[in-house]
């Protein structure tokens, strides 16, 4: 019993103030000599509302005694968990909510976070996990099971709040005290504004190396090597500073706006810049500077390499005195002063005129040449302003353009409209007569050709040729080779061309991809060959000779010449763009991914192009898969028509210097051409046979690793290349026909095209492989010494020997670590290894089978 009112004096409390809690009865009776058992009764009191209470026990004559009384309460102890601290809590009900706080150096994110909470049970145990968002502050990490936040040690940092640990300071940075949220860059190292604090510190790059100038009169091309130290960054760019040194010994001054740069003067990402607009007979100092994202933060200027050059004296100075004579609504007559220098002769003037409102917009500028200091610009727009510039050309080349002068055509023709009307009528009548004559000529030609049997109609219907229609003309037979260029190649305005990227390097300069947009025609991608600066007249003539040769050919399997650019620097040759590049590298990249009928289609296209060339009496001399280009539709086109090929000493194309001088590619060249320099269409047929072998072997190197002299000796002994793996018998026999020692016994390209057409019409014949056919008429070279488990050594050596090294990791991961484990491998095993190409599966299984045979008969060598 206990007093409900909580009176301070028990003696004054009456029964009415007491509340009965329970009646206690004995459950166990104590008997003499029996087991001693005590009765224990636990009672729950409450809830309590006062500061204290009294306990009273009333006995009513029961045979029992009160031995002891224990009064207690339960509480949840103070707890630290999940970076939160909860105080000691007494439960006042079934569960009691406890409010905690974050441990030292921890906080909750957000503007008004809710405090951590946890529940205390009536049994004095904490219930479940706390509800908390406490995380360690920047510079601190959780430790001891998230019981505390510990400061990051020296040399470590932690950027923000969160559960992550401290990190080691990035390269070239350090933290000098514990609990750092970031690391400071060491002296000489910096972070760009866009760099994250957890990135390494970097420094400005060192200076560019080995600048190489190529001066061409008043233009210059600078090339250089990258710095030895990029500063640890990938955003490397270059800038060029130009200074003009007019007085010896005096400081050089910055060049003016008249100097132009391509691609730009600053922010250059490549290692080449073209500069023009320089003064003749003047010394310039060019400094090439390397920069990156932290260069502006350095107190020192960017590192640079300086080079001095002097321009040629034989270039005319700026033309001056450009003025208007007369003007109409569609024309302008212009005059200018002739330069007064007497030590050279002006050969020609070039004018550049653009519509002022359109500025330098594409197709808005035009060029015109004049042999005198007067010109009439016609076909202009009425009431339009034009910016006009003029420059002179001598034997030394073009000078710089003059300052632009603006002229305007008249808005209307107010005087003598009658003569113009008469002139217009006469022109219209003349055009009508000309159209009638052209139509009649076309009708006669078509009618005449209707009764002729065409020799060939190509598969896509774009090419039709009869006998004797066109013959190749050697451009070097012209007294002036430039005349051949003008006759066979079309000059294109440089404003119609936009260079996008460099894709390679040719004999004379870079090869680029660009876009060609000619007014009235669809924009096309083109390949652009450029002539690098510092060229000689012979090099320029040889460079353009390929264009004058290519311009004579019109065939779907011959690379098409779009035009040339000779009126500006650099000189360019534009051809159609072939997306898949050279045939040999394209086949190696797609090894085993084409069917035999697709490969025969490629060979048929090459043969068709060579048939066209042979009928025009043109001998290619360098027919090889590397000189065949492939477009996105797998159409193969013959390319590389340069007569003068300056093969480098370290070229990947194997060459041999004959006794008569000059270098020729041995592996593709007929024996009579090697011995006597006798190049004919028959020698091109021999080369075509090698191309067939390259195609069917997916770009394998002809004669493998044999030396040039070994190749010559083998051919003289009548040895020929064996069939590539899975090569149809018919195709290998056609190769052997092309490799007949007597050139008169070789087939013509017309015979080859007919033979391939028969194969395409009868694809079942391609299923008969060379191993199943009759024996060859020539002894065959063995590709390499026979493979044996002992010669291979490891699985990796074996895969590299059969050029399947791409699957080495697949075999090793599957447990094939020795050659003996390959004995029972099958197609299903190869599929599980991830080898899905049928050609690769057959090549691997055939090699494994050959390894088993050779292991039994180690002395067997096939010839």
Which residues belong to the annotated binding site for ATP? Answer: 529
Which letter does DSSP use for residue 339 in this model? P
| 486 three-class SS | helix
- C-beta neighbour count of 574 within 10 angstroms: 25
Q: Token match 């492939």: residue?
A: 630
Is the distance from CB of 125 to CB of 76 less than 8 angstroms? yes
Residues linked to residue 457 through DSSP beta bridges, in sequence order: 464
Q: Which residues pair with 333 in a beta bridge?
A: 376
Residue position matching structure tokens 């998230």: 146
Single out the residue of 175, 182, 97, 223 nearest to residue 509, CA to CA. 223
Cα 406–chain centre separation: 44
Beta strands in 138-265 (DSSP E): 140-143, 148-151, 156-157, 167-168, 173-174, 184-185, 209-216, 219-225, 237-245, 253-254, 260-262
| Of residues 376, 366, 372, the one with CA closest to residue 332 | 376
* CA–CA distance, 95 with 118 (Å, rounded to integer): 10
Contact (Cβ atoms closer than 8 angstroms) between residue 591 and residue 699: yes
Tokens 């212009």 correspond to 334
Residues 6+ apart with CB under 8 A from 841: 827, 830, 831, 835
Among 240, 244, 272, CA closest to 258? 244
- CA–CA separation, 815 vs 811, rounded Å? 7
Task: Check if 622 is active-site.
Answer: yes
> What is the spatial distance between Cα 25 and Cα 751, in angstroms, rounded to a whole number?
125
H or E stretch at 853: helix 838-856
Query: From CA 104, how far away is CA 150, in angstroms rounded?
Result: 9
**Which residues, at least 6 apart from 467, have a Cβ–Cβ distance to it below 8 Å?**
455
Query: How far is it, in rounded angstroms, from Cα 588 to Cα 625?
Result: 11
* Distance in angstroms (rounded) separating the CA atoms of residues 583 and 640: 13
- Render 667-708 in DSSP notation, one character per residue: GGS-HHHHHH----HHHHHHHHHHHHHHHHTTSPPTTTT--H
Of these residues, 591, 622, 640, 726, which one is catalytic? 622
* CA–CA gap between residue 214 and residue 307 (Å, rounded): 12
Buried b (16+ CB within 10 A) or exposed e, 289-315: bbbbbbbeebeeebbbbeeebebbeeb
DSSP state letter for 477 = G
Residue 715 to residue 670: CA distance in whole angstroms: 9
All residues at 6 or more sequence positions from 260 whose CB lies less than 8 Å from its CB, including other chains:
275, 276, 277
Burial of residue 4, with CB atoms counted within 10 A of its CB: 0-12 exposed, 13-18 middle, 19 or more buried: middle
Question: What are the φ/ψ torsions at residue 260 (nearest 5 degrees)?
Answer: -115, 150
Q: Scanning the structure block, which residue is given the tokens 């534009």? A: 574
Assigned token pair, 405: 């002068």
Give the Cα separation of 678 and 669 in Å (integer): 10
Q: Are 557 and 612 in contact, with CB atoms under 8 Å apart?
A: yes
What are residue 128's phi and psi, to 5 degrees? Answer: 60, -165
Residue with tokens 């074996």: 798
Q: Which residues pair with 392 in a beta bridge?
A: 349
User: Which residues line the annotated binding site?
Assistant: 529
The per-type count for the chain, helices as H runs and strands as E runs, is 15, 44
Residue 160 CB partners (closer than 8 Å, separation 6+): 138, 181
Tokens representing 61? 């004559």
Residues serving a catalytic function are 622
């Amino acid at each position: 019993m206990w007093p409900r009112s909580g009176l301070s004096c028990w003696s004054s409390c009456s029964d009415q103030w007491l509340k009965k809690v329970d009646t206690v009865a004995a459950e166990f009776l104590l008997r003499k000599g029996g087991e001693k058992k005590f009765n224990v009764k636990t009672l729950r009191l409450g809830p309590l509302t006062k500061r204290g209470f009294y306990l009273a026990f009333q006995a009513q004559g029961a045979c029992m005694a009160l031995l002891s009384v224990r009064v207690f309460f339960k509480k949840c102890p103070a707890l630290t968990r999940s970076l939160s601290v909860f105080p000691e809590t007494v439960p006042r009900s079934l569960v009691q909510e406890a409010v905690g706080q974050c441990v030292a150096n921890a906080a909750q994110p957000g503007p008004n976070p809710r405090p951590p909470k946890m529940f205390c049970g009536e049994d004095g145990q904490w219930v479940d996990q706390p509800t908390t968002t406490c995380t360690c502050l920047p510079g601190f990490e959780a430790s001891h099971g998230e019981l505390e936040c510990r400061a990051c040690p020296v040399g470590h940092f932690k950027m923000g709040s969160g559960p992550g640990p401290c990190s080691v300071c990035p390269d070239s940075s350090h933290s000098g005290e514990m609990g750092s949220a970031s690391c400071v860059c060491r002296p000489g190292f910096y972070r760009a504004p866009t760099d994250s604090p957890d990135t390494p510190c970097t420094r400005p790059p060192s200076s560019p190396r080995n600048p190489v100038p190529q001066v061409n009169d008043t233009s210059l091309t600078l090339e250089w090597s990258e710095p030895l130290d990029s500063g640890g960054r990938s955003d490397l760019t270059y800038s060029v500073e130009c200074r003009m040194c007019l007085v010896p010994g005096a400081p050089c001054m910055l060049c003016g706006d008249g100097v132009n740069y391509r691609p730009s003067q600053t922010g250059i990402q490549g290692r080449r810049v073209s500069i023009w607009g320089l003064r003749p007979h003047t010394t310039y100092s060019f400094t090439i500077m390397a920069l990156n994202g932290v260069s502006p933060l350095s107190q020192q200027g960017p590192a640079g390499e300086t080079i001095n050059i002097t321009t040629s004296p034989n270039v005319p100075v700026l033309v001056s005195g450009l003025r208007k004579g007369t003007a109409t609504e569609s024309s302008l007559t212009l005059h200018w002063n002739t330069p007064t220098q007497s030590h050279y002769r002006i050969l020609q003037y070039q004018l550049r005129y653009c519509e002022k409102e359109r500025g330098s917009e594409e197709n808005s500028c035009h060029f015109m040449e004049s042999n005198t200091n007067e010109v009439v610009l016609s076909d202009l727009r009425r009431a339009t302003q034009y910016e006009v510039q003029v420059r002179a050309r001598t034997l030394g080349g073009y000078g710089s353009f003059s300052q632009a002068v603006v002229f305007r055509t008249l808005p209307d023709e107010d005087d003598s409209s009658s003569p113009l009307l008469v002139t217009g009528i006469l022109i219209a009548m003349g055009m009508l007569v000309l159209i009638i004559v052209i139509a009649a000529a076309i009708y006669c030609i078509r009618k005449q050709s209707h009764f002729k049997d065409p020799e060939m109609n190509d598969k896509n219907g774009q090419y039709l040729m009869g006998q004797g229609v066109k013959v190749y003309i050697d451009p070097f037979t012209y007294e002036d080779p430039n005349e051949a260029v003008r006759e066979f190649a079309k000059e294109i305005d440089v404003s119609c061309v936009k260079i996008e990227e460099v894709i390679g390097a040719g004999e004379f300069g870079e090869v680029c991809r660009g876009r060609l947009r000619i007014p009235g025609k669809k924009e096309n991608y083109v390949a652009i060959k450029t002539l690098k600066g510092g060229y000689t007249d012979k090099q320029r003539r040889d460079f353009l000779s390929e264009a004058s040769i290519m311009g004579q050919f019109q065939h779907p399997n011959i690379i098409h010449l779009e035009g040339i650019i000779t009126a500006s620097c650099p000189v360019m040759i534009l051809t159609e763009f072939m997306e898949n590049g050279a045939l040999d590298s394209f086949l190696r990249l797609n090894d085993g991914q084409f069917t035999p009928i697709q490969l025969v289609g490629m060979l048929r296209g090459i043969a068709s192009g060579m048939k066209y060339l042979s009928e025009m009496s043109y001998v290619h001399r360098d027919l090889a898969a590397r000189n065949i280009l492939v477009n996105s539709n797998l159409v193969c086109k013959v390319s590389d028509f340069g007569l003068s090929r300056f093969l480098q000493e370290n070229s990947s194309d194997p060459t041999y210097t004959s006794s008569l001088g000059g270098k020729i590619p041995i592996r593709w060249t007929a024996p009579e051409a090697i011995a006597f320099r006798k190049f004919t269409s028959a020698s091109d047929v021999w080369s075509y046979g090698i191309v067939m072998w390259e195609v069917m072997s997916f770009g394998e190197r002809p004669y493998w690793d044999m030396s040039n002299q070994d190749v010559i000796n083998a051919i003289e002994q009548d040895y020929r290349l064996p069939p590539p793996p899975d090569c149809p018998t018919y195709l290998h026999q056609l190769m052997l026909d092309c490799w007949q020692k007597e050139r008169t016994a070789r087939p013509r390209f017309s015979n080859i095209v007919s033979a391939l057409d028969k194969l395409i019409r009868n694809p079942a014949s391609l299923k008969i492989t060379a191993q199943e056919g009759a024996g060859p008429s020539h002894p065959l070279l063995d590709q390499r010494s026979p493979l044996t488990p002992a010669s291979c050594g490891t699985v990796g050596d074996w895969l590299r020997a059969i050029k399947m090294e791409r699957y080495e990791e697949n075999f090793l991961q599957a447990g094939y670590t020795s050659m003996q484990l390959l004995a029972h491998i099958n197609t299903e095993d190869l599929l599980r290894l991830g080898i899905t190409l049928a050609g690769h599966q057959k090549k691997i299984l055939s090699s494994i089978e050959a390894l088993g045979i050779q292991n039994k008969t180690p002395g067997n060598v096939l010839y």
